[in-house]
């Protein structure tokens, strides 16, 4: 009986993994295709300088988001469920939210002036200030992603990714069409993150409790730091 149950569990796990790979592959194809199509449309409505300005900000924000995560997402996904799992998840959410707020503030106070100095582009100030809030949106999306991944609910993640990409693209094209210029691209970045985060939270059906325990986080934070190193 044990062997039969083990075999069934392995078969189910294998089926879930194959579905996950299929959904991720579909997500890659759809997003790449959408990205190319939208870029071609926006290229007819915007000037190259608009894309250049946004690219400068996106590169810096991408680097910061690595440190917001701090490898904690992968550490939590790989962590086996134990007696501390519930409080660990709650603590991780507040830790990540605090990190998101802190990194957003640091980017606004120090990152933006440094970018303006390095790139010699004063017009980056307002653009970077608005786009900087994508750091906070990123921190909010980590815990629902962890919970969905641990349950191998890749379909929910792909749907959130595709819907947010399509919706943000429509918003960007509409704004570019009415003459919003570089703000069309900024809106695309922010709306994509906001919509994706909202959909992930809805799919995860989880709400953190107002409690925090550093002891429950200590081992996974150490592991995540090791992963980054």
Whole-angstrom Cα distance, residue 35 to residue 180?
A: 20
User: What pLDDT does residue 124 have?
Assistant: 93
Token pair 């990123």 is at which residue? Answer: 138
User: What pLDDT does residue 11 have?
Assistant: 60
- Report yes or no: 225 and 90 within 8 Å, Cβ to Cβ: no
- Report yes or no: 158 and 213 within 8 Å, Cβ to Cβ: no
Residue segments in the chain with a per-residue pLDDT below the cut of 70 = 1-17, 20, 222-229
CA-wise closest residue to 204 among 138, 166, 150:
150
User: What pLDDT does residue 130 have?
Assistant: 96
DSSP string, the chain: -HHHHHHHHHHHHHHHHHHHHHHHHHHHHHHHHHHHHHHHHHHHHS-HHHHHHHHHHHHHHHHHHHHHHTTHHHHHHHSPP-TTHHHHHHHHHHHHHHHHHHHHHHIIIIIHHHHHHHHT-TTHHHHHHHHTTHHHHHHHHHHHHHHHHHTT-HHHHHHHHHHHHHHHHHHHHHHHHTT-THHHHHHHHHHHHHHHHHHHHHHHT----S---HHHHHHHHHHHHHHH-
Provide the whole-model pTM.
0.86
User: What pLDDT does residue 28 have?
Assistant: 79
User: What pLDDT does residue 20 have?
Assistant: 64
CA-wise closest residue to 74 among 142, 18, 125:
142
- Report yes or no: 57 and 131 within 8 Å, Cβ to Cβ: yes
- The distance from CA 76 to its chain's CA centroid, rounded to whole angstroms, is 16
pLDDT per residue as tens digits for the range 25-53 = 777 777 788 889 999 999 999 999 999 99
- Report yes or no: 140 and 197 within 8 Å, Cβ to Cβ: yes
User: What pLDDT does residue 226 have?
Assistant: 46
Tokens of 91: 């603590």
Whole-angstrom Cα distance, residue 84 to residue 24?
A: 31
């Amino acid at each position: 009986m044990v062997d039969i149950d083990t075999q069934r569990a392995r078969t189910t796990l294998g089926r879930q993994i194959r579905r996950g790979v299929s959904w991720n592959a579909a997500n890659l194809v759809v997003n790449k295709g959408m990205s190319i199509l939208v870029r071609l449309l926006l290229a007819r409505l915007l000037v190259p300088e608009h894309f250049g300005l946004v690219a400068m900000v996106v590169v810096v924000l991408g680097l910061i988001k690595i440190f917001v995560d701090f490898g904690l997402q992968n550490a939590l996904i790989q962590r086996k469920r134990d007696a501390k799992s519930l409080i660990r998840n709650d603590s991780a959410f507040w830790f990540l939210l605090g990190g998101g707020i802190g990194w957003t503030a640091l980017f606004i106070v120090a990152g933006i002036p440094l970018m303006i100095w390095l790139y010699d582009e004063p017009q980056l100030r307002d653009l970077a200030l608005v786009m900087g809030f994508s750091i906070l949106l990123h921190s909010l999306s980590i815990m629902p992603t962890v919970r969905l991944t641990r349950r191998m609910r890749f379909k929910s993640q792909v749907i959130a990714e595709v819907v947010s990409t399509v919706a943000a693209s429509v918003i960007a094209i509409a704004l570019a069409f009415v003459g919003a210029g570089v703000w069309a691209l900024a809106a695309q970045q922010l709306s994509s993150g906001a919509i994706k985060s909202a959909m992930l939270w809805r799919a995860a059906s989880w709400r953190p409790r107002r409690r925090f325990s550093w002891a429950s986080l200590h081992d996974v934070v150490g592991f995540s730091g090791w992963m980054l190193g």
